[in-house]
Amino acid sequence: MRTPSFLSDHLRDFLLRNTIATLPELKQALGSTVDITVFRKLKEISYRTSYSHRGRYYTLDQIPRFDSNGLWSFRSVWFSRHGTLVETLEALVQSSRHAYFAEELQRILQVEVKDALFQLVQQRRLARQEFAGVYLYCSSDSATRRRQALLRQEMPDLLPGCDTAQVSGEELKASIVLFSSSLNEKQRRLYAGLESIKYGRGGDRRLAALLQLDPHTVARGRKELLAQEVDSARVRKRGGGRKPTEKKSPA
């Protein structure tokens, strides 16, 4: 009896139409009842597996548009540029300026993270130290870990127990947008720069998208704050704004 042939193009076309799919859906699209057949054909195309939903979803590598953290979601299913949940947590913590508490990582990744963090610490791929009775997850590199912990100590609103930990991510975003709308041009730029510093890497783009500002405006506010070059008496630099018009009397 002739062995049926299956084409990986069928999986590619199905994912292009549906964006994401589960293994049963891919088997149906391929016309096979065997898991290993689907996995063999997936290897012939470039694909990714979700880090949420226990890795049950698949998508083509060309589909996700990852954010500054390397994350992308579709219908509440999350994918990462870094791969699995464990690999994503390691990448985020290792590259962070101020390390992370578990609750912060959970808000970013939208999944439970404590078991994966414990695994990373056990394998010495990450380190942790106690801050106000809560574990701060840091880089495994000792020099980087010291810099991360120092930055946390210098920024009290990044320590556990701040009010932002008691509200959801969407509520916090709405509050930031509302407060920003009440500020003048200069105050909005400086406030966006301050929030960008808290976010760390990629903060300029995230705040620009949230507050509908140019990323260069956010970067300018951040640089002004860090350099302590803030003129409290002016909204714009001298010479900024529209040029005065000259009144002409009729001839």
Q: How many domains does the chain have?
A: 3
Q: Which residues contact 217 (CB under 8 A, 6 or more apart)?
A: 189, 192, 208
> Model confidence over 34-82: pLDDT tens digits?
888 888 888 888 899 999 999 999 999 899 999 989 999 998 999 999 9
Residue 115 has pLDDT above 60, yes or no: yes
Q: Are residues 95 and 129 in the same domain?
A: yes
What letters, b where the CB count within 10 A reaches 16 and e where it falls short, cover 162-195? Answer: eeeeeeeeeeeeeebeeebeeeeebebbbbbbbb
CA dihedral 182→191→203→131, nearest 10 degrees, is: -110
End position of a domain, from candidates 50, 79, 108: 79
What was the pLDDT predicted at 122? Answer: 95
Q: Are residues 71 and 91 in the same domain?
A: no
Write the CATH number for 46.
1.10.10
Q: Are residues 151 and 182 in the same domain?
A: no
Q: What is the mean pLDDT of the chain?
A: 82
End position of a domain, from candidates 79, 98, 124: 79
**In this structure, are strands 100-101 and 134-139 parallel, antiparallel, or unpaired?**
antiparallel
What was the pLDDT predicted at 246? Answer: 61
Q: Are residues 159 and 173 in the same domain?
A: no
CA distances from 72 to 39, 59, 89, 128, 225 (A): 23, 11, 15, 27, 31
pLDDT, average across residues 76-95: 94
Write the CATH number for 152.
1.10.10.10
Is 1 a member of any domain?
Answer: no
Is 22 a member of any domain?
Answer: yes
Is 246 a member of any domain?
Answer: no
Q: Are residues 131 and 185 in the same domain?
A: no
Cα–Cα distance between 251 and 235 in angstroms, integer? 38
Q: Are residues 174 and 106 in the same domain?
A: no
Cα–Cα distance between 172 and 199 in angstroms, integer? 13
pLDDT, average across residues 82-101: 92
> Model confidence over 33-45: pLDDT tens digits?
888 888 888 888 8
End position of a domain, from candidates 49, 79, 109: 79
Q: Are residues 63 and 97 in the same domain?
A: no
The sign of the dihedral angle between the CA atoms of 97, 99, 101, 106 is: positive
Residue 250 has pLDDT above 90, yes or no: no
Is 240 a member of any domain?
Answer: no
pLDDT confidence tier of residue 244, bands split at 50, 70 and 90: low
The beta-carbon contacts of 190-193 under 8 Å, at least 24 apart in sequence, are 190/221, 190/224, 190/225, 190/230, 191/221, 192/217, 192/218, 192/221, 192/222, 193/218, 193/219, 193/220, 193/221, 193/222, 193/223, 193/224, 193/225
Domain limits for position 117:
84-165
* DSSP secondary structure of 83-138: -SHHHHHHHHHHH-SS-EEHHHHHHHHSS--HHHHHHHHHTTSEEEEEETTEEEEE
What was the pLDDT predicted at 160? Answer: 53
Is 235 a member of any domain?
Answer: no
Q: Are residues 91 and 156 in the same domain?
A: yes
> Model confidence over 116-142: pLDDT tens digits?
999 999 999 999 988 767 889 999 998
Is 190 a member of any domain?
Answer: yes
